[in-house]
Amino acid sequence: MLTGKIALVTGASRGIGRAVALRLAQAGADVVVNYLRKERAAREVAQAIEAYGRRARVVKADIGDEDDLARLFDEVVAFGGLDILIANAAIGVMEPLLSVTAKHWQRTVGTNAWGFLTMVQKAVPLMRARGGGRVVALTSLGSTRVIEQYGLVGSSKAALEALVRYWAVELAPESILVNAVSPGIIETDAIRSLSSPEQVLEVVRRQTPVGRLATPEDVAGLVAFLCSPDAQMIVGQTLVVDGGYSHLAARVDT
Ligand SMILES: NC(=O)c1ccc[n+]([C@@H]2O[C@H](COP(=O)([O-])OP(=O)(O)OC[C@H]3O[C@@H](n4cnc5c(N)ncnc54)[C@H](OP(=O)(O)O)[C@@H]3O)[C@@H](O)[C@H]2O)c1
């Protein structure tokens, strides 16, 4: 399905990014595996990609840093170009808006929203050279709904989703299709680092109509679909993968 395509997945060493990188490789893509700190985990992802018979390149880069981003894209060019950009990596602390400082805001919005804007700017000429491309950004329900202590990250994700719509309309005439995927709660290190993760996971599991939490692989399946020829008319959408969780206003336990 994606044979001959080259993908860049940011934050591909762990969690959702890892699952997406492996899924794209299974579908035939060569993958640039970006990470920030966990080199060994990133190398293991690259080995798994190579075990599928695909090429992989591991690149350490902070997607909130201009110089790192320039170097990351130099590596992408050296790897052969770009057809698929998965903007997955994100940062953010959980805290009430009353505690947010200018530094927190600039770092979080700078990484999650400006990082995305500038990555697409760098991706466009590479995708044009290959006749088109796909961009998928990972967002979250906190962009449109209130999650406790999530105001800073939620605001950065709201900006990200707006950018997805604007980029989508600007780039669709060049066959570069841009969309966002919004997972519900997925059990990854990001969730495991919360103060009481088991409690959060159990509450969400109970309130999820399909009866289980969505997994990184569920998210990866949708991302791969958006990169496939079948998704040619899906433009500028934010698609939710949460087993129906976000539809439920309340569950009355009997
Ligand atoms: N998990 C959820 O419930 C959930 C729900 C909704 C949306 N999402 C979104 O899904 C995406 C992935 O979340 P996750 O839960 O899979 O996260 P995760 O398990 O914490 O993994 C984060 C990944 O991003 C990398 N990373 C972090 N900061 C980076 C930076 N500045 N530059 C480059 N790479 C960086 C990490 O690299 P290292 O391994 O090197 O540290 C790691 O590969 C995020 O955009 C998140 O907002 C997650």
Domain boundaries, given as residue ranges, for the chain: 6-239
DSSP label at residue 209: T
Q: For tokens 């600007």, what's the residue? A: 170
Confidence at residue 250, expressed as pLDDT on a 0 to 100 scale: 82
Ligand 1 mean position, distance from CA 252 (Å): 33
> Which residue's C-alpha comes closest to atom 1 of ligand 1?
186
- Among 64, 55, 58, 23, smallest CA distance to 41 is for 58
Q: Which of 71, 75, 72, 85 has the alpha carbon at shortest distance from 9?
A: 85
- pLDDT digits (tens), the chain, 254 positions: 999 999 999 999 999 999 999 999 999 999 999 999 999 999 999 999 999 999 999 999 999 999 999 999 999 999 999 999 999 999 998 999 999 999 999 999 999 999 999 999 999 999 999 999 999 999 999 999 999 999 999 999 999 999 999 999 999 999 999 999 999 999 999 999 988 899 999 999 999 999 999 999 999 999 999 999 999 999 999 999 999 999 998 878 65
Q: Are 82 and 126 in contact (CB under 8 A)?
A: yes
Residue pair 12/43 in contact (Cβ under 8 Å)? The answer is no
Q: How far apart are the first and last CA of the chain?
A: 46
pTM value surpassing 0.95 = yes
DSSP assignment, residue 237?
-
Q: Is the CB of 238 under 6 A from ligand 1?
A: no
Active site (annotated) includes residue 150: yes
Question: How large is the greatest C-alpha to C-alpha distance in the chain, in angstroms?
Answer: 60
The pLDDT, as a whole number, for residue 19 is: 98
Instruction: Using alpha carbons, select from 120, 92, 86, 110 the residue that is nearest to residue 159.
Output: 110
- Ligand 1 contacts CB of residue 107 (under 6 A): no
pLDDT score recorded for residue 254:
55
Which ligand 1 atom is at minimum distance from the Cα of 64? 31
Query: What SS3 class is residue 18?
Result: helix
Q: What is the pLDDT of residue 249?
A: 87
Written out in words, the top-level CATH class of the domain with range 6-239 is alpha beta
**Residues forming beta bridges with residue 177, ordered by sequence position:** 134
DSSP-derived secondary structure letter, 183: E
Ligand 1 centroid to residue 13 C-alpha, Å: 9
Closest CA to 234 of 243, 242, 225: 225
Choose the catalytic residue: 5, 150, 166, 245.
150
Ligand 1 center to residue 91 CA distance, Å?
7
Q: What is the CA radius of gyration of the chain?
A: 18
**Residues 20/88, Cβ–Cβ less than 8 Å:** yes
Alpha carbon 88 to chain centroid, angstroms: 2
pLDDT for res 22: 98
User: Nearest Cα to 36, choosing from 20, 13, 52?
Assistant: 13
